Amino acid sequence: MYKNFAEMKRANEAIGHHWFDADAMRFFSSKLQHPIYRTSGGAYFVSSEQRDHDEPRLFSVRFCDHRGSVDTIGHFQQYSTKAQAVDAIIALIAA
């Protein structure tokens, strides 16, 4: 479905959402983690956020559906490492 974050961003903007907007990303100190994990209905990806500069950066699993809507899978900042979040995505895809 999606080949990269740019395609997800365009789809998200097309439905009037602002998940990938620079201001939103800056507000949450969000970073997009490569790669994306494509499925027939969209793509999973990992984002990381840092609430305050003195707190650790934590990781979330996200899914961008075929319309461009982005949802958190599990809990926001559920994972301490990117590897844990990737393992969760691999388990979701395998299920």
User: What is the pLDDT, as a whole number, of residue 51?
Assistant: 86
* pTM of the predicted protein model: 0.94
HEC letters along 13-65: HHCCCCCCCHHHHHHCCCEEEEEEEEECCEEEEEEEECCCCCCCCEEEEEEEE
Report the C-alpha gap between 67 and 42 in whole angstroms: 8
Q: Point out the residues of the chain with pLDDT beneath 50.
A: none
Nearest to 41 by CA among 72, 64, 61: 64
User: What is the pLDDT, as a whole number, of residue 60?
Assistant: 98
Report the C-alpha gap between 39 and 95 in whole angstroms: 12
Distant-in-sequence, close-in-space partners of 65: CB < 8 Å, separation ≥ 6: 41, 42, 71
